[in-house]
Each structure stands twice: as C-alpha cells, then as structure tokens.
Structure 1
Amino acid sequence: MPDRASAPRVAAIVGPYASGKTSLLESLLLATEAIHRKGTIQDHNTVGDSSPEARDREMGVEVNLAETTYLGGQWTFLDCPGSVEFMQDTYNALTVCDVAVVVCEPDPARAVMLTPLLKFLDSRAIPHMIFINKIETTETHLRDMIEALQMVSTKPLVAREIPIREDGKVVGYLDLVSERAYRYKPGEASDLISIPEDLKDRHVNERQELLENLADYDDALLEGLLSDVVPPKGAVYDSLARDLAEDLVVPVFFGGALADNGIRRLLKALRHESPTLEETRARLGIEGKGPVIQVFKTQHAEHMGKLSLARLWNGTLKDGQALNGDRATGLFSFPAGQQAKVDSVGAGAVVGIGKLEKLSTGALVGGDSAADDPPVLGPLFALALHARKQGDDVKLTGALAKLCEEDPSLRVENNPDTAELLLWGQGDIHLQIAVRRLARQFHVEVEAHRPQVPYKETIRKATSRQGRFKRQTGGHGQFGDVHLDIKPLSRGEGFVFTDSITGGVVPRQYIPAVEQGIREFLPRGPLGFPVVDVGVTLTDGSYHVVDSSEQAFKSAAQLAMREGMPACEPVLLEPILRVEISVPTDATSRAQRALTTRRGQILGYTPKEGWSGWDVVEGYLPQSEMHDLITDLRSATMGVGTFAWSFDHLQEVIGKQADEVVTARKLVLAG
C-alpha cells in the first residue's frame, strides 16, 4: 500500500444543515492539537462559519478551510455549507477533495436529506465515509439508521463499529476490524476495555457481514472466507482502503462531536484508509508536468482584492510565479483556519493565491483533467435590486459581478420587459446573504423586493386606422399621413410589418420610418405592457413634397397605433413556465398540490431516473406563482425537493385577476 502521509490530503466535511459539521471540525482540530480550546456556534467563535453572515445566521454560508497535522500527515479540512441554498460551494469543494466525511444525525426519518449529496458523490465516484453524529443523544439502533441510509445510497454501507450502551446511552464502541472495544473519555483518547459479553455474538455476526461486503470486490478475501480462513487484520484494512479509494463501499462511523466522542477513531480511519494524492489524481485523470492548480473558490476581500482558493495537484508553486498569464501575488496557507502567508507550497496542498484576475472558480491551470466540471445550480428564486444612493448603479453592477464570481449559483439579469435588475439564486436566505455582502464587502446599499412579472399584451380583433401628423412651426413644417391595418397574429409570431403601397402615395424612403414608429409604440400598449403577436400593414397614405420627413411618418404611425390598438380588444398575457419538480415519492402528492393551488396544470409524473424512491412531477405554472414555490417544496421535503423551469408560452388572463394586474401596472407607470 502507498505511504498515506507522503503528501497533503484534503477531506471535505459535508452534510445537511444542523448535522454538526462545524462542531466536528472543532473536535478534529482539538484532537490534532491545532487548537487548544473549542469554540461553539452559540458563542460565535468557531473556526468554521467564520464570516459575519454565518455567525448571524448560526449556519454555514460558504466553505471554510482549516489545516492541521495528524500522525505525520498534513490535512486540510473543508467545512462545507449544509443548507441546500449554498450547495454550490459544497459541490465545488468536493471536486478537489481526496475523501468526504458525510455527517448526519441519528434519525432514520431524516436520512432522505442525504440523497442529493450522496447522488453527487457517487456520480463522480468521490470516496466518502459517513459519520453519524450526536449518537449519545439518541436511542435509535445503529442498524435502523444504517438501513435508512442504505435506502438513499447507491453504494453498500459497511458498519465499522458497534455501539456499546449502558442505561440506554452510547458510552463506547467495538471496532469490527481491530476487534477491540473502547470506552469514550471526553476530550481524550478512549480507554481500551474488554469486549462486553452481550456484544460478542453480535460482534461475530456483524464482522462477518463486513468481510462479506469487502469480499465482493476482493477475490483473495472471498477465497479465504469460502475456506473458513480468518483474514489477517492488515489485509482487511488494505481491502477497506482500496474499496474506499474506488468508491465501492461507504464505511460508517459514529460518535458525538460536542463531547469529542469517536473523533480519534474517525481520524485514524482518515489517516490509514483515505486515498492518497496519487490515487486522487488517477481518479480525476489529472495530468501535467509543472504546477497544476484547480480553483474551487473565489473570494474578494476589501483590502486584499481577489483571492483564489485552489488545490495544487502537481509540482511546486512559488510566490510570484506566472500562471496562465497572471502572476501569483501572495500565497497563503490556513493553519487552524487562520490565513498565513507562505513562500511556496508543494503538491497536494490547498493554497490561497492572490490577484489571479483571469482565473474563475473551477479553472484548471497547467494540466488536463478527465473529470467533469461541477454543475452550476439553476436559478430558483429572484429579487429585484436597486441602489439606495443615486449614482451607485455602476458600483452595484461591479459588486454583483464579483459576488457571482464568488458564487456561480448567483446570476444577474437585466429584464428588458420590466426594466428591473434581478438577482437570481437558490432561495430567500441565499439572496439575503448576498444583499448583506453587497453592503459589508462592497459598501453598496440596495433595496430588494419581489420582481415584477413580465406580462405582455396582445389583441383579439382587427381594425384600420389613419394617422395624420401635421405641424406648422414656421419655415418647413411636418407632415405625414398613413393608413394602417392592425390584426392579431397566432401566439408566438411576434410582430410582423408589411406594406401594400402602390403609386408612390408613401415614398419608399419613408416606409422604414413607419415601421420604426410602430416598433417604438409596441413596448407599452393600451394596458401598459409590451405588445406581441400583432401584424400591421401600411395600406395607404399621403405626403408633402416639402414638409414630409422620416420623423413625421414615424409620428403618424404612432398616432394610428395609439388610436387603433384600444379598439382591437387588447388582452393581458401572462408567462407560463414548464416546471419539473423533483421530490421523494412520499411527497409527490404535496408537489402536485403545490402546482394546483398556484393555478398550475399537472402534466403527469414519472419515477426519477436513477433515483430510487423519487418522482418528477411535470406541469405548467404561471410565472406570477413561482416566487415562493421553492420555499414550499423544501418545507414539504426536509429541504431536498427542488425544481427546474423554463419559459413555455404566453396565456390569456381575464377577469378580476387581469384587472388587478392592469391597475397595479398603471400605478407603477404613473409614479
């Protein structure tokens, strides 16, 4: 087996919100003597969740880094956000780790919360182990928890330990590989004890189950089991390390981060069984002779400027070294979460690199990789923003560009129909954090509110109108005269202009001005919204040899449209989205109700491909009803429900609802 302390390794700590990831990081750093006193979420003094926004919310909102050493090996732990609204950072961090520690609570009913995360890990063959946290606070049987987790994992779970209970509480563990029992000793290494009598039969049975799981991928081990030969413990450890590196099995540990229980057992598993840098490079297909870096996070600090967090896959990186046309201006390590300047770093390390202006999150420099880029999460929730201070618009635009560089799941849109600047993200908290960062990091105060819906309007009947523009102001006057036929078109045809002029009643050089005048009228029809699916034909007109001009014919066309459109029975159109809602099967009916109570139309539902126990509900949904859909879906599914959407068509709105929309629009336009 390779020397597993030969190069720095990276472990991502991931898991659902409130599972205890940040507390686990504190315990890991204390056990490795990187810190000498643990912080707490309540006291706002943990190494993880260090930003003001994270401490205000008492939840992770971005990835946090902390370096330490254990048994001769250098480790970087990436403490990743648990909220689904900040999963982009988690996915980006997982692309550069050697192993992931998936943290969860000992509640079988909450196992479904791990589904999207485990799917991501398995889809990319990222080695991972599970740490069931808060074990001392539950009476749940470990077997029940593992069975619930197995339902949401495509890889076989292998229990590495058996809990030792006294008076209903977990006080220690029996290791199934070393066949040794230990009693927890808060803040210290566990005490070695004799195997309790009541666990001896269970120990034999569960160890046999562990070996059989490993034998599925190890012919030598299988042959020994068939011959009733007890395998050497070293062979079992080697088999575990190989299977973990290839993401064939998922080892399961348990403990309690708050009391430091099971932490050293987890550290030993990481030290002796996690993949090495060489194994991770092989898994990702990374090649390159010089320094090869991969950026997984971008930060913008007020006084430092841009800082790129990256993993150095190969070679040595020195301060001032050229990278892809940029120059590394400042290198930083992160001992116990603190930023420290260094002169150089070696392969395997995580490093902060200053002023790489040309590199964005996800960039790979100096080599090639066979791995796919991390997915960019689609937009689910939007707020309309405007700067509080007059003159801050340009500053706001630049600040938003930097926020989107830090978090690719944020997206900025200038909506041409509503003239609003929209910030899209993963949910309300996600965007509220972004708004706060605009103020704290970039000193741009903004007002944020629910976006307007990009309604349109069209017409139901045809009409003909004359537009005659005549003005005498001394000298040359202005004269233009047009006759227009206005008619509705089929949905989706847009605007079509034609002319049937004969005999030169409107000179050819003025006809484009007529079309331009009509086009300038269309953004605000009689109901106050952009007009679509309208055909206009110029049929007749007249001109004056001296006083006619392009401007006069443009104005004449607008007069004809202004008078004619109200007679065409204008009607409001609302945008209809096609949505695909992904939820666990037991929430399918709730997802369907979420559509129907929002005036949606259900098209059907099918099992989600590759996701056992999940469905996809397809339907149409008015865009005006989309704003809080993601909030309701997450409430109904413990945070894991989501949806994808795209614009599908425009649909007529009549009656009271249309009247309310038009009235509100008039108020907006008036003031």
Structure 2
Amino acid sequence: MTAKSPSSPRACALVGPFAGGKTSLLEALLLASGAISRQGRIKDGSTVGDSAPEARARFMSVEPNIATTTYLGETWTFIDCPGSVEFQQDGYNALMAVDAAIVVCEPDPARAVMVAPILKFLDERKIPHLLFVNKIDAAGTRLRETLEALQAVSDRPLIMREIPIREGEAVTGYIDLVSERAYKYRPGQTSQMIKIPDALKGEESAARQEMLEHLADFDDHLMEELLEDIQPPTDEVYADLGKDLAEDLIVPVFFGSAENDGGIHRLFKALRHEVPDVTTTAARLGIAPSGAALASVFKTVHAAHTGKLSFVRVWRGEFADNQVVDGNRIGGVYAMTGGTAAKTPKAGPGEVVAFGRLDPVATGATLGGADAGMAPWPLPLAPLFAVAVAAEKKGDDVKLSGALTKLSEEDPSLQLDHGEFGELVLRGQGEIHLQVALDRLKSRFNMQVATRKPTVPYKETIRKSISVHGRHKKQSGGHGQFGDVHLDIAPLPRGSGFQFVDKIVGGVVPRQYIPSVEHGVAEFLAQGPFGFPVVDLSVTLTSGSYHTVDSSDMAFKTAARIAMTEGMPQCDPVLLEPILLVEISVPSDFTAKAQRIVSGRRGQILGYDAKAGWAGWDTVNAYLPQAEMDDLIVELRSLTMGVGTFSWTFDHLQELTGRVADKVVEERKQVLENS
C-alpha cells in the first residue's frame, strides 16, 4: 500500500450498546497512540473517560468522553458516547459532528438486536461507520454467528476485513483480507507478522473473495476483474474501501480485545487510511467549502468552576480566544482529554474543542451563521419517564428552576415543565437518566430536592342535572354582603369543557354581577368534590335577587360557590381518567411480551403491524391509562434487551369507577389535607 499523506484533524465517535467496552476501547486507542502510558480500568476508576462522579458511581458512561491524540503524525479526536439508551441524545448529537463512527459490540449473537437503533440512526443520516467486535478473547466467542445476527439488523452489508487466528479457544491474531498477511497479537506493541497458517488458507481465500464481491457491487471495474479472474491491485481495493465507507455503502468489520490490547493498532491503521476527512464530512452535511469560519455545537456543559463550556467541531476557518462570534465573545479555547481541559490559542478545520463563556449558545447551534443546505440537527427525544421535584429548602424554588433549565440546555432530552397541579416536573429517558440529573443538581448546584411521582391529571364530571339555589347574606355593621343565585347544572358531551349560560331577565341579577357569578363557578370547578378539575358541564344562571346596598361582586361570587358546593354532589359526579394513545416499538420476537405489558396495565390493544422502515420490528398500538405509564419504559426495556420504546399522545378522558377510582379519590384527599 502506498504511503499516506497526513490529513487534517479527524474525529470518530465510539457508539454501541451498554457494556460493549467503548470506554475500554478509548483507553486502548489512547495507549496505542502514546497519549497515556498505562491503560486505565473502569472497575478501579482510573480511565481517562468517565471522570464525572455520576459515571464513576455507576461504572458507566453518562455523558460523552472526549479525548484528542496523535497517531503517526495525524490528529484524532475520539468521542466515547454513553451506551445506555437513556443517554442516547448525547450520542446522536456527537454523531452529527464526526467523520465516522466505530460501533462497538460484544461477540454474542443474542445481543445483536441491541445494535439496531444506532445502526438505523447512522444509515438514515449516511454517517460512515465500521464495526468493532470487542471481547473476542472471551471464552466461547461465536464470531460468525454474531456477524450473521448483526447483518440481520444492518441495512448495509457487513464486510469482514479480517478473520481470526485461533489457538484452541483463544484468538491470538488475525489475517488481513486485503494485504493477505497474518499477524499475531503482542499486547503493548504492534502485532507481529507471521505466515498464514496452512489450515486457514482456504478460509482466508473464501473470505477475501466474499469481501471483493461486496465491493464489486459498487465498482463496475472491480466486477469486470473478478469475472475475468484477475486479482485486483491492493491499492484499488483500499481505494474502494475508503470510497464506499465514506458514502455509507458498506460497514467494514474488525475484531479484537480493548482490555487486552488485541487488534487496536490494526483498527487505528484502518481508521487512518479509510475514514474521510473534515472536508468530505462537511460536504455530506451540506456545508459549503468556502465562507466564514463555521462550527457546530454538539454538547454544552455548565461546569462548577469554569462556567459554561460549548463543545464544537470546526468545519471551516479558525476560531480564537476572545473572538466575537454571532455577538458573543469566546472566553477560552480548550482541547479536551477526558475531564482535563488544556487551553489553546485557536482551533481550525477538523478540530474538536470547547469554547468558554458562550452562555446564550445552545446545543445544536451553528456558530458563524448556518449554511442554507446544512443537514437538520436531531430533534430532542420525546420524554419517557418523569418525576415531580421540589426544593427541600424553602425559598430555593427559583434557584431549582434555574439549575434544571441549565441541565436541560446541556441535554435536550431532559425537559422541564410546570404540571397542572403546580408541580415542577422533570422528564427524561428513564429512571437512571433522571437520577443522574438529580445527582448533578447536588454536586454542581448544591441543590437538595425531594421527588415523587407526578400527579396524574384526572378530571371529574357529572352524569345528572340539577337546579340549585345559593344565597350569601352577611351583616356585620355598616355595609353587609348579599348575593342570591339560582343555577341549573347539567352534563355535556365529553370534550365540551365548561359552558356558562346567562338567562337572567328583568334585571333580577344586575348585569355587572353576572361575570362574578361565572368566576365563582369557575373557581369551584378548579377543584370538584373529588379534588380534581371539573369538565364537560354547563351552568346556567336562571334567576336570583340582589340588595341595592349590600350586593357586590364578591357577594355574588360567594353565592355561586355556595350553590356549586351544594349542588355538585347531587349531580352523580364521576372521575375521568386520561387515556393515552400509545405506539410501542419492539423487535418482532418481543411483540407478544409488549402485548402482555399492555394487558397487565388495564390497556386496550388496538392492533399491531410491521414497523415501517425497520425490518424485523413491530409496532403495537393501544390505549393506556396515563396512571399506568409511570414505569412503562422500565418494564419494556427489561423485557426487550433495552431496545423497546414507545411514543404517546393524549387521546380522551374515560370514566373511572370502582375500587381503582375510590383509591384515587382517597389519595387525592390525603394530598389536599397535607398541603
């Protein structure tokens, strides 16, 4: 293979399912490049990545880990993305800023389905990616079966770049299918070239032919050579691999052991020769090659001591410390290695750095003015889990809201809203996702909070009409209070809301007091007999009387409340439960389990069908009470190897009676008594 000229700085994201070994692979790549002298271990908390206390406490990545290094004279930035689906927003955002992704997975066919969502995201956006099958030294590895299972969940053909050399059960090296050379692993060093074992020559020849045939699907000249039994030059094969990878036509497959330094140098060299550079990536994203300096913000962090940091990929031009961009001054340019920031004067095309003090700039923003043709940024993931939060210390509500707003800026899949009952509700991707957010509230913002389940927005209505009289009369010296109303209360069809009708004739209730009657009724309806808002009823003011001196707005408002308080319990009130239309997405093997989950949560299955654009996946459509949604995502993921998910919209209100309704009313009564 011809020598390669150094390229501009390039960036790769390490992605894949939880426990695949991405953080260990980052350590191995840093060791291979000389950036570190000793490989850290997750179990003893010595890795470059996962330096945050929330990550160390859980032995898992909870945010992207960024490290820049050099290898054979070239600059590389690796972004180790969290494997847990609860933190996949960070991974999706990072993928928009890299030249290629390394999908890291285990050699277990049963876990291949866990790779499907990330492969789908990569293919939808044509992001070049390759597979690294990690832990190949584990006992009982089944590489061929694993690749067959992975191919079933990949829209692109998987192309093996090497085959393993085994000694007994152990994988001790590999045969490169392009150069047709064999290598033996040497931990801590580059692999040693050896002769191809005689027993593997037939397998190697067949595997190489299969690789070439895949490449020939995208190269007519190579196809002609194969048909004429001409062995293509090695440089031609490498060129095809690089071109097809850049266009997301193929997925090259490598294997090794990140923890034991197997296959790492081989992987690094493949990245060096085949991963596209920043100009190719910018073109893929629709960024014009010339123009003012341009960068994308793929992550923001509010650090305790340095303030806000905006992590960016520079596409063109240069950015320097103190430079004003879009009206904001850059307060420092930093090269990142894990949790360590090294100040640098400027950053140019291809570099991944952090800018300080760009407080108004959000994740997903383009610095320097957006290009008209730029690819759209991934939308924030819809929330799947929620908790109501409140400051433990009185007077800290404003501080809490501000801190949560900052965390939502860092991670757009966190959402903050004010619930219907005055609650502050934090929504996210799962239980661990929100636990990490709450831990950050404590460690970064010194905020102690109490949490509970959000209140389900039940409503209540009536099933019977009634006429009722309300009188408020009070004499306490001087002007008294007098208001007198006759009301008709009647049910309305579902979804009608509240209607107030004025049928006063002859001035028995003066015009100026009628709005006060309506306000009094509306205030009562905010909390009906069961403690929830009342809907779908009409209240008609039919008659009344007044006093020329003692009547007032407040008196008629009070009279209306008295009438409603007396009349509503006689209208056969009933609780209304919010029902959601839920679409559950799962691999077809788990469809029956998804249906059982729905049935076990008082749900109504509406049907299921193949998921459009997802081979081997189904969607289950159902009605589910909102009260049953609290931990739905937890159960769904536990039964589908973490890949099941759902979306939902409010659909209708439905009457709820019996023991379930009685329990809801009793719990609401206790809440109101304690508030």
TM-score higher than 0.5 here?
A: yes
Match of 1:487 in 2: 490
How far, CA to CA, are the matches of 2:3 and 2:507 in structure 1? 89
How far, CA to CA, are the matches of 2:5 and 2:189 in structure 1? 24
Match of 1:115 in 2: 116
How many percent identity over aligned positions? 61
Deviation at 1:419, TM superposition (A): 2.1
Match of 2:103 in 1: 102
Match of 1:455 in 2: 458
Distance 1:235 1:337, change over 3 A: farther
TM-score of the superposed pair, with normalisation by structure 2: 0.98
Is the CA contact (8 Å cut-off) linking 2:486 and 2:542 kept in structure 1? yes
Alignment of 1:108-257 (within 5 A): 108-257=109-258
Q: Which residue identity is paired with 1:373? A: W
Deviation at 1:141, TM superposition (A): 3.5
Distance 1:115 1:343, change over 3 A: same
Is the CA contact (8 Å cut-off) linking 1:479 and 1:544 kept in structure 2? yes
SS of the counterpart of 1:339? strand
Match of 1:320 in 2: 322
Q: Which residue identity is paired with 1:468? A: R
1:373 is aligned, of 377, 380, 383, to 377
SS of the counterpart of 2:56? helix
Distance 1:378 1:2, change over 3 A: farther
SS of the counterpart of 1:256? coil
Is 1:502 matched with 2:489?
no
TM-score of the superposed pair, with normalisation by structure 1: 0.99
Is the CA contact (8 Å cut-off) linking 1:34 and 1:335 kept in structure 2? no
Match of 1:539 in 2: 542
How far, CA to CA, are the matches of 2:69 and 2:557 in structure 1? 73
Match of 2:411 in 1: 407
Is the CA contact (8 Å cut-off) linking 2:186 and 2:192 kept in structure 1? yes
How far, CA to CA, are the matches of 2:154 and 2:523 in structure 1? 57
How far, CA to CA, are the matches of 2:533 and 2:665 in structure 1? 12
Match of 1:558 in 2: 561
How far, CA to CA, are the matches of 1:567 and 1:449 in structure 2? 34
SS of the counterpart of 1:432? helix
Distance 1:651 1:101, change over 3 A: same
Match of 1:360 in 2: 362
Alignment of 1:257-268 (within 5 A): 257-268=258-269
How far, CA to CA, are the matches of 1:5 and 1:101 in structure 2? 21
- In structure 2, runs of 5+ residues without a counterpart are none
Q: Which residue identity is paired with 2:19? A: A
Deviation at 1:480, TM superposition (A): 1.0
SS of the counterpart of 2:51? coil
Is 1:610 matched with 2:613?
yes
Is the CA contact (8 Å cut-off) linking 2:471 and 2:483 kept in structure 1? yes
How far, CA to CA, are the matches of 1:434 and 1:338 in structure 2? 22
SS of the counterpart of 1:43? coil
How far, CA to CA, are the matches of 1:185 and 1:510 in structure 2? 91
SS of the counterpart of 2:668? helix
SS of the counterpart of 1:17? coil
Q: Which residue identity is paired with 1:339? A: A
SS of the counterpart of 2:137? helix
How far, CA to CA, are the matches of 1:404 and 1:334 in structure 2? 22
Match of 1:291 in 2: 293
Match of 2:523 in 1: 520
Deviation at 1:4, TM superposition (A): 6.3
Is the CA contact (8 Å cut-off) linking 1:2 and 1:276 kept in structure 2? no
1:475 is aligned, of 470, 478, 481, to 478
Q: Which ranges of 4 or more aligned residues in structure 1 deviate by more than 4 Å?
A: 1-4
Deviation at 1:507, TM superposition (A): 1.1
Is the CA contact (8 Å cut-off) linking 2:65 and 2:338 kept in structure 1? no
Match of 2:93 in 1: 92
2:304 is aligned, of 293, 302, 305, to 302
Q: Deviations over 1:214-238 (max 9, x none)?
A: 0111122112112211110011000
How far, CA to CA, are the matches of 2:463 and 2:193 in structure 1? 84
Q: Deviations over 1:315-352 (max 9, x none)?
A: 01110111111110111012466310111111110110
Deviation at 1:450, TM superposition (A): 1.7
How far, CA to CA, are the matches of 1:347 and 1:208 in structure 2? 39
Moved more, 281-290 or 32-41: 281-290
SS of the counterpart of 1:334? strand
Deviation at 1:381, TM superposition (A): 0.4
SS of the counterpart of 2:270? helix
How far, CA to CA, are the matches of 1:489 and 1:569 in structure 2? 13
Paired residue total = 670
How far, CA to CA, are the matches of 1:141 and 1:114 in structure 2? 17
Q: Which residue identity is paired with 1:139? A: G
Is 1:391 matched with 2:395?
yes
Match of 1:669 in 2: 672
Q: Deviations over 1:30-53 (max 9, x none)?
A: 000000011101111101111000
How far, CA to CA, are the matches of 1:667 and 1:144 in structure 2? 57
SS of the counterpart of 2:619? strand
Match of 2:583 in 1: 580
Deviation at 1:138, TM superposition (A): 3.7
Is 1:345 matched with 2:347?
yes
Q: Which residue identity is paired with 2:367? A: V
Q: Deviations over 1:610-662 (max 9, x none)?
A: 10110000001111111111011111111000000111111111111111111
Moved more, 176-185 or 219-228: 219-228
Is the CA contact (8 Å cut-off) linking 1:4 and 1:272 kept in structure 2? no
Deviation at 1:169, TM superposition (A): 1.3
Is 1:624 matched with 2:639?
no
Deviation at 1:179, TM superposition (A): 0.4
Is the CA contact (8 Å cut-off) linking 2:4 and 2:273 kept in structure 1? no
Alignment of 1:3-22 (within 5 A): 5-22=6-23
Deviation at 1:455, TM superposition (A): 1.1
How far, CA to CA, are the matches of 1:62 and 1:519 in structure 2? 47
How far, CA to CA, are the matches of 2:269 and 2:263 in structure 1? 10
Distance 1:663 1:335, change over 3 A: closer
Is the CA contact (8 Å cut-off) linking 1:4 and 1:73 kept in structure 2? no
How far, CA to CA, are the matches of 2:208 and 2:143 in structure 1? 15
Is the CA contact (8 Å cut-off) linking 1:29 and 1:336 kept in structure 2? no
Is 1:330 matched with 2:336?
no
How far, CA to CA, are the matches of 2:562 and 2:4 in structure 1? 83
Q: Which residue identity is paired with 2:135? A: K
Deviation at 1:3, TM superposition (A): 6.5
Distance 1:251 1:337, change over 3 A: farther
Is the CA contact (8 Å cut-off) linking 1:4 and 1:276 kept in structure 2? no
Q: Which residue identity is paired with 1:13? A: L
How far, CA to CA, are the matches of 1:142 and 1:552 in structure 2? 82
How far, CA to CA, are the matches of 2:117 and 2:285 in structure 1? 21
Deviation at 1:376, TM superposition (A): 1.1
Is the CA contact (8 Å cut-off) linking 1:67 and 1:337 kept in structure 2? no
Q: Which residue identity is paired with 1:403? A: L
SS of the counterpart of 1:660? helix
Is the CA contact (8 Å cut-off) linking 1:490 and 1:533 kept in structure 2? yes
Match of 1:445 in 2: 448
Is 1:278 matched with 2:279?
yes
Q: Which residue identity is paired with 1:332? A: Y
Q: Which residue identity is paired with 1:153? A: S
How far, CA to CA, are the matches of 1:415 and 1:458 in structure 2? 21
Deviation at 1:142, TM superposition (A): 2.3
**Cα RMSD (Å):** 1.2
